[in-house]
Structure 1
Amino acid sequence: MEDDITNLVVVGVISWTTGFVLTRRMFPKRSFDFCNRVVSTIHATLAVILSSLSVQDWSCPACPLASKASPKQMQTLAVSLSYMMYDLVCGSFDKRFSLDNSIHHLVSIVGFGAVLAYGRCGSEVMAALWITEISSPFLHLRELLKELGYRDTDLNLVADILFAVVFTMGRMVCGPYLAYVTLSASNPFVIKAMAVSLQLVSAFWFYKIMRMVKYKLTKRTS
C-alpha cells in the first residue's frame, strides 16, 4: 500500500506538471498565472469530489475521529499532496510570489505527509480538504475573469462576493469547529499543529478578503 501511495504521488506530480505545460500551449497568449489557475481549478474540483466520495458518515463528516484512514482517503490525500508539491514549485517561478500561499502549501504538505505516514486522521483531513478547496474555484474564477477582460464588471463582482461568502462559511464557520475536534481527539501532534496553522492562515486570508469586499463595494457605490 505504501509503494502504491508513493507511486501515486509521483505520477500525480508529473500529471499536474504536464497539465500545466499543455495549458500553456493551449493558451500561449495567457499569463503564467492564468494557466496555473486553470490547473488549480481542476485540482480543487477533483479534491472536493474525491473527499466527498471518501466520507464514511455524512451525519458527521469528520467522524470517526482519530481513526485509521481508509484506502480511498489515502489515495485522495496522495492526489492532493502531489498537487501541493507541484503548485509550491510552480508558484516559485511566477512573478507574483505569495508568501502566505507558500506557507499554506508547506503546512498542507507536512500535514498530508504525516497522515499518509501515520495512516490515521483520514476523516478529519478529508473534511479539511473539502473545506479548504470548496472556495478555490471561485477564487480562481475571479482572477481568470480579470485576465479575460471582465475586471470591474458585474460578473467579476458576483464572483468576488460568491468567493467571499463560500470562503467565510467554509473556513471561518466550519473551520474553527473542525480545528477544535481535531485538537480534542487523540491525534498526533503534527496533525494538531497543521489544524491550528491552517486556521491561522485562513483567518489572515479572511481579513484580506473582507478588505477586498469593502473596497469593491465602496468603489462600486461611489
Structure 2
Amino acid sequence: MEDYITNLVVFGVISWTTAFLATRRIFPNRSFDFSNRIVSTIHASLAVILSSLSVQHWSCPVCPVASKSSPKQMQALAVTQAYLIYDLICCFLDKHVKLDNMVHHLVSIVGIGAGLAYEMCGSEMVAALWITEISSPFLHLRELLKELGYKDTDLNLAADISFAVIFTSARMVGGPYLLYVTLYANNPFLIKAMALGLQLVSAFWFYKIARMVKHKLTKRITTKKVESTL
C-alpha cells in the first residue's frame, strides 16, 4: 500500500473523530449515538459522491473487473476505511456492540484493506461502497427523528419506508449482481470472501427490515381503524 493511502487512512480516522467531537459540542444535550449518526450521515453522503466520481465507465459501472485500482478509487476506499475504523471504536465506547454490525465492520475493514493492499478490484469495491452507503442517510435519519421526538409520526414512517425501499433495491438487486461479478472475476480470495460476507449480512438485515416495516404498517393500520371507530 502506498504511503499516501496509509497516511490518508490515518488522517481520516483523526478527521472523523474530530468531526464527532465537534458534533458533541454543537449538540451537548443529545446522546452519543445522535452525534455519531450525524458523522455517519456525512460519511455516507461523501462515500456515495466519491464512489460515483471514481467510476471509470458509466456504460458499465463495475468495469473493468479485477483490474488495477485508479487513484480516485483508492482515495474513496481509504476515506471509508478510516470511517469504519472510527465507527468500530465508537461502537465499543458507546457499549452498543451488535454481532451483525461488528461482523459487517470487520468484513468491510478486512476487505477494503485487502483491496488497498493489492491495489486492485477498485471498480468492484467502489460499486460495493455505493450499494452499501446509498441507503445509509435514511437509516440514520429514522433514528435521528426518534431522538428529536418524531417517533411514530408520518415523517418517521416515510423515512422508514424510504430506507427499506432503497436498501432492498440496492442490496438485494444490485448486491447479488455485484457478488456474481466479483466471484467470477479473477479477484483475490479475500475480496471474494468480503463480497460474499457482505451479501450474507445484507440478506440478514433485509429480513429484519422487512419485519420492521410489516410491524409498523400493521400498527399504523390498526391505529387508524381504532381512531375511525371513536
- Same structural fold, with TM-score higher than 0.5 when normalized by the shorter chain: yes
* Gaps in structure 2 of 5+ consecutive residues: 223-230
Q: Which amino acid aligns with 2:15?
A: S
SS of the residue aligned with 1:149? coil
What is aligned with 1:205?
205
Query: In the alignment, which residue of structure 1 is the partner of 2:143?
Result: 143
Partner of 1:72: 72
Cα distance in 2, alignment partners of residues 83 and 186 from structure 1:
28
Paired residue secondary structure (2:138) = helix
Matches of 2:63 and 2:98, distance apart in 1: 34
User: Which has the higher Rg, Structure 1 or Structure 2?
Assistant: 2
1:118-144 deviation digits (Å, cap 9, x = unpaired): 011000000000000000000000000
Q: Could you tell me which residue of structure 2 aligns to residue 12 of structure 1?
A: 12
Equivalent residue runs for 1:90-105 within 5 Å: 90-105=90-105
In 2, the alpha carbon distance for the partners of 1:98 and 1:43 equals 21
Deviation at 1:96, TM superposition (A): 2.9
How many Å separate the matches in 2 of 1:142 and 1:163?
8
Note the 1:29-68 alignment, pairs <5 A.
29-68=29-68
C-alpha displacement of 1:59: 1.1
Determine the C-alpha separation between the residues in 1 that align with 2:26 and 2:117.
38
Deviations 1:131-171 (A, max 9, x none): 00000000000000000000000000000000000000000
Distance 2:96 2:150 in 1: 20
Question: 2:119 matched to which residue of 1?
Answer: 119
TM-score normalized by structure 2? 0.95
Q: 4+ runs of 1 displaced by more than 3 Å?
A: none
> Residues 154-173 of structure 1: matches in 2 within 5 Å?
154-173=154-173
Residue matched to 2:226: none
Report the Cα distance in structure 2 between the residues aligned to 1:122 and 1:42, rounded to whole angstroms. Answer: 22
Aligned residues: 222
- Deviation, 1:54, is 0.1
Match of 2:174 in 1: 174
Q: Which runs of 5+ in 1 are unaligned?
A: none
| Other-structure match for 1:86 | 86
Q: Deviations for 1:59-92, whole angstroms, at most 9, x for unmatched residues?
A: 1111000000001100111100000000001111
Measured in 2, the distance between the counterparts of 1:73 and 1:129 equals 10
Q: Could you tell me how far apart the structure 2 residues matched to 1:212 and 1:44 are?
A: 22
Deviation at 1:211, TM superposition (A): 0.4
Q: Percent identity?
A: 77
Supply the AA of the counterpart residue of 1:123.
S
Q: How many Å apart are 1:97 and its aligned residue?
A: 2.2
Q: Residue 225 of structure 2 aligns with which residue?
A: none
Distance in structure 2 (CA, Å) of the matches to 1:214 and 1:19: 36
Q: What is the deviation of 1:98?
A: 1.8
Letter in 1 for 2:207: Y
Q: Which residue identity does 2:40 align to in structure 1? A: S
Output the CA distance in 1 between the equivalents of 2:25 and 2:129.
30
Q: Amino acid of the residue matched to residue 142 of structure 1?
A: R
Question: In structure 2, what is the equivalent of residue 132 of structure 1?
Answer: 132
Matched residues in 2 for 1:210 and 1:192: separation? 27
Write the distance in 1 (CA, Å) between the matches of 2:29 and 2:45.
25
